[in-house]
């Protein structure tokens, strides 16, 4: 039973598509959140393939079953700014291929936009004059949200039982791709739940209330702050709309409480789970996550860096951009002093900026104008429309727009199918939410539209299938990569044979050729490896990894000079990469190039102040026989930055100990025994478990004929099992002999002899018969 707002009052006139086909298509679309992707690197590839096949199936159905199309659909599309703006936007995205260094990235993303555009056309045809189905559509979306939430919470409980709550919370993104995508995919469904809860009674309302509780709990458990902001905004927007529409009274107040109370409960549930996690950062409380929404937060600062880099890209390429999809490659040089090791952003975390950087400022503004148009058109309908159905759909679209725009400002929903379908839906609902016409006219020749959709969907399905296969190949590659290419599933030849037909890069922006080079390198086919690494360098030369692998190959071929050059090139491409610094410093040490070590250390610490940078440099300087006092001064600078660092402290103590031992030994024949002993005592104080110090002190007392004291230090040195020549055992035997303990003396002479110490046998002959 429905309330006074009767969405069914929107008449179904003029369309020959049966209602069940519309609902079946909507339901099929929503299945994308449940598709398996166990053998692809990301769920978006099977999702896009699935959407493209759905478009094709619907086009086939329309072509063979719906010979006529209402003229009002055609005229609505022709007159619509939204349609032409989005169409122009896609065309300009495609034209960016002429500005792109990597055209295959443009093709991949352009195909995905075409899939979305075909979906837009199909939904427009299906939903024009079918808005009376909106209540059923809301229920279908509610069912999808219910099962999505239940599955996520079930997996969370499973993981929590196997590991810890914190670990389980972090693994919530496994199926969706990442935490923000999971939160956004549920958040975009919340407006439908709010409309449904407001307008349904009985079991339907109870079901949607339960779904709202589950969905918001799942969203809150992700800790995604964008979703938190979105839920606050849409609740404010809907409450204002509700009270404005129905006036503020006791009845409307209680009605509002029905959709507010589940959120309050979900906050309580989430905080209780967070409390059990005993995490002091992301998973503390909802209130804490909201407080973390500020520019001082590490995640916020990182986004600001990405945005600044994107603005620099826009400034450098304002008209044509760098090419659709090319941000993830062309942004890497801007991040080399900002991102550690081989980490890159892949996305700007702002779709509007990313589109402007890839396809030009004009197209970026055009994309923004689409959402501005949607917002103002629907806001105007809320204010001016006379019928409640038009207003209800308008507020629904406004809430969807708020969620999508918020996600676009802070994340990257543009190429996530789970968000794209709702972008298409909010555009279509804006397009078709128009007053009824008095009469309907049909045009039988309009099936050409269906034929065009059919052909385009067939082409996109082919390319989406190729993308899916490429993702499957990437999955295998990454599996081998995680295993350090030990017992690899693939070989270099198999990878080359299975290279994608049009894709040249993985989703991580690395070239497939780069991994072919790695496979060949591990197979010791160095010439083949170098050949494909050089090809990879033409596709993405910014990582430094290609030079790193060339360094490994040159080193394996014992070409140390080339290896040193490649090591330096890798480091200077990515001066925050600790592994690159370590390898380059090792080659510099082999060349006794201590100035290069200091130069590289200065560069890495300029951008990345970590104790490991001092530790690596100090170790290599010491191995290169750099002046010990200068090394001590160098380590002191590190300790000033990182007081109490255990490794730096040990490095310093090791050098001091070595110096004290050296200075003590220098006094052995200079009749200055007190000073000699003082050096050993200083060394022992720094390192009480150092066998070298104990050995030297043992000899000091041995030479002074203090055999009891000497014996204790020899035994102490032997305990740490550093000396294997038998010399220590020999002198232990001598000490026992001097102390008239022949039994122990012979025991140690025999131990010394077993290690082939030359003087031990004579002592055995003389004293142990």
Structure confidence by residue, pLDDT tens digits, 359-401: 999 999 999 999 999 999 999 999 988 888 999 999 999 999 9
* pLDDT tens per residue across span 310-344: 999 999 999 999 999 999 999 999 999 999 988 89
The continuous run of DSSP H or E covering 435 comes out as none
Question: pTM of the predicted model, to two decimals?
Answer: 0.85
Tell me the two tokens of residue 254: 């209680």
Mean pLDDT of the chain: 88
Distance CA 410, CA 219 (A): 16
Burial zone of 147 (CB within 10 Å; 0-12 exposed, 13-18 middle, 19+ buried)? middle
Residue 213 lies in a domain: yes
Cα dihedral across residues 529, 534, 540, 546: positive or negative: positive
Helices 388-410 and 351-359, interaxial angle, to 10°? 70
Residue 618 lies in a domain: no
More confident residue, 635 or 17: 635
pLDDT at residue 67 in the model:
62
Distance CA 705, CA 694 (A): 16
CATH of the domain at 743: 1.25.40.10
pLDDT at residue 653 in the model:
87
Helix, strand or coil for residue 12? Answer: coil
Residue 468 lies in a domain: no
Residue 57 lies in a domain: yes
pLDDT at residue 438 in the model:
47
Instruction: For tokens 């692809």, name the residue.
Output: 40
pLDDT at residue 176 in the model:
67
What is the domain extent for residue 188? 7-462
Is the predicted pLDDT of residue 7 greater than 50, yes or no?
Answer: no
The continuous run of DSSP H or E covering 444 comes out as none
- For residue 511, give the DSSP letter: B
Tell me the two tokens of residue 762: 């004579």
Distance CA 700, CA 683 (A): 14
pLDDT at residue 16 in the model:
63
pLDDT at residue 492 in the model:
93
- For residue 177, give the DSSP letter: S
Give the end of a domain, one of 442, 462, 482: 462
- For residue 668, give the DSSP letter: T
Q: How many separate domains does the chain show?
A: 2
Tell me the two tokens of residue 261: 């109370």
571 contacts 539 by C-beta, under 8 angstroms:
no
Distance CA 206, CA 719 (A): 75
Residue 679 lies in a domain: no
Give the end of a domain, one of 400, 435, 462: 462
Distance CA 299, CA 281 (A): 12
pLDDT at residue 14 in the model:
38
Instruction: For tokens 């203090």, name the residue.
Output: 706
The continuous run of DSSP H or E covering 443 comes out as strand 442-443
Mean pLDDT of 90-115: 95
Most confident of 25-39, 124-138, 519-533: 519-533
pLDDT at residue 550 in the model:
95
Burial zone of 444 (CB within 10 Å; 0-12 exposed, 13-18 middle, 19+ buried)? exposed
Is the predicted pLDDT of residue 10 greater than 50, yes or no?
Answer: no
Helix, strand or coil for residue 704? Answer: coil
How far are the Cα atoms of 338, 451, 495, 670 from residue 472, in angstroms, in the given order? 31, 31, 12, 75
Is the predicted pLDDT of residue 281 greater than 70, yes or no?
Answer: no
Distance CA 17, CA 61 (A): 10
Mean pLDDT of 21-27: 94
321 contacts 96 by C-beta, under 8 angstroms:
yes
Give the end of a domain, one of 420, 444, 462: 462
Residue 319: what are its φ and ψ, rounded to 5°?
A: -90, -55
pLDDT at residue 270 in the model:
84
First to last CA, the chain: 111
DSSP-assigned beta bridge partners for residue 335: none
How far are the Cα atoms of 91, 672, 700 from residue 676, in angstroms, in the given order? 84, 6, 8
Residue 522 lies in a domain: no
Residue 559 lies in a domain: no
Residue 574 lies in a domain: no
pLDDT at residue 236 in the model:
93
Distance CA 289, CA 169 (A): 15
* pLDDT tens per residue across span 150-191: 998 998 888 888 888 877 787 776 666 678 888 899 999 999
């Amino acid at each position: 039973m429905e309330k006074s707002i009767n969405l069914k009052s929107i008449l179904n006139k003029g369309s020959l598509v049966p209602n069940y086909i519309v609902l079946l298509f909507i339901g099929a679309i929503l299945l994308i959140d449940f598709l398996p992707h166990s053998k692809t690197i990301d769920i978006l590839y099977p999702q896009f393939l699935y959407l493209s096949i759905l478009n094709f199936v619907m086009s086939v159905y329309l072509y063979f079953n719906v010979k006529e199309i209402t003229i009002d659909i055609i005229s609505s599309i022709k007159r619509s700014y939204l349609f032409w703006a989005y169409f122009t936007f896609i065309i300009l995205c495609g034209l960016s291929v002429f500005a792109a260094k990597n055209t295959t990235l443009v093709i991949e993303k352009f195909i995905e936009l075409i899939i979305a555009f075909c979906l837009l056309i199909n939904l427009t045809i299906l939903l024009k004059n079918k808005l009376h189905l909106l209540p059923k559509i809301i229920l279908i979306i509610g069912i999808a949200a219910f099962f999505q939430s239940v599955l996520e919470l079930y997996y969370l409980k499973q993981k929590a039982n196997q590991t810890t709550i914190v670990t389980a919370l972090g693994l919530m993104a496994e199926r969706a791709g990442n935490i923000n995508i999971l939160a956004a995919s549920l958040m975009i469904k919340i407006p439908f739940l709010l409309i449904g809860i407001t307008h349904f009674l009985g079991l339907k309302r109870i079901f949607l209330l339960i779904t709202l509780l589950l969905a918001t709990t799942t969203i809150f458990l992700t800790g995604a702050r964008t979703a938190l902001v979105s839920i606050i905004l849409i609740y404010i927007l809907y409450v204002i709309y509700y009270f404005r529409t129905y006036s503020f009274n006791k009845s409307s107040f209680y009605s509002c409480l029905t959709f507010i109370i589940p959120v309050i409960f979900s906050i309580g549930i989430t905080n209780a789970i967070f409390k059990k996690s005993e995490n002091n950062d992301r998973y503390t409380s909802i209130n804490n996550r909201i407080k973390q929404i500020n520019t001082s937060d590490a995640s916020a600062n990182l986004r600001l860096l990405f945005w600044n880099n994107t603005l620099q890209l826009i400034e450098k390429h304002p008209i044509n951009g760098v090419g659709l999809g090319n941000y993830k490659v062309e942004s890497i040089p801007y991040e080399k002093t900002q991102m550690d090791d081989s980490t890159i952003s892949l996305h700007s975390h702002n779709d509007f900026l990313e589109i402007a950087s890839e396809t030009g400022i004009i197209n970026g503004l055009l994309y923004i104008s689409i959402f501005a148009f949607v917002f103002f058109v629907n806001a105007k309908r809320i204010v001016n429309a006379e019928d409640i159905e038009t207003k209800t759909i308008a507020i629904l679209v406004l809430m969807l727009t708020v969620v999508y725009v918020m996600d676009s400002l802070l994340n990257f929903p543009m190429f996530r199918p789970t968000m794209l379908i709702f972008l298409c839906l909010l555009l279509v609902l804006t397009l078709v939410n128009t007053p009824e016409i008095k009469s309907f006219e049909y045009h039988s020749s309009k099936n050409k539209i269906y034929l065009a959709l059919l052909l385009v969907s067939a082409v996109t399905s082919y390319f989406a299938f190729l993308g899916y296969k490429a993702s499957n190949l990437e999955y295998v590659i990454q599996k081998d990569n995680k295993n350090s290419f030990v017992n690899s599933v693939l070989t270099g030849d198999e990878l080359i044979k299975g290279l994608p037909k049009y894709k040249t890069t993985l989703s991580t922006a690395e070239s497939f050729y780069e991994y072919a080079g790695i496979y060949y390198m591990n197979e010791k086919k160095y010439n083949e490896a170098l050949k494909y690494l050089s090809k990879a360098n033409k596709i993405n030369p910014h990582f430094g990894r290609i030079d790193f692998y060339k360094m490994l190959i040159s080193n394996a071929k014992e070409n140390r000079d080339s290896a040193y050059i490649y090591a330096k090139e890798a480091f200077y491409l990515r001066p925050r990469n600790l592994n690159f610094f370590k390898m380059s410093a090792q080659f510099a040490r082999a060349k006794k190039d201590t100035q290069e070590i200091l130069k590289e250390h200065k560069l890495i610490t300029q951008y990345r102040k970590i104790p490991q940078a001092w530790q690596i440099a100090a170790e290599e300087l010491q191995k290169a026989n750099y002046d010990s006092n200068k090394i001590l001064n160098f380590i002191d600078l590190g300790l000033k930055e990182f007081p109490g660092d255990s490794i730096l402290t040990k490095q310093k103590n090791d050098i001091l100990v070595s110096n004290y031992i050296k200075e003590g030994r220098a006094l052995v024949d200079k009749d200055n025994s007190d000073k000699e002993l003082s050096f050993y005592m200083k060394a022992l104080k720094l390192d009480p478990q150092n066998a070298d110090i104990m050995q030297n002190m043992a000899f000091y007392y041995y030479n002074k004929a203090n055999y009891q004291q000497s014996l204790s230090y020899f035994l102490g040195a032997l305990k740490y099992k550093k000396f294997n020549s038998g010399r220590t055992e020999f002198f232990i035997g001598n000490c026992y002999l001097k102390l008239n303990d022949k039994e122990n003396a012979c025991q140690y002479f025999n131990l010394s002899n077993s290690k082939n110490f030359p003087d031990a046998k004579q002592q055995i002959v003389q004293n142990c018969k």
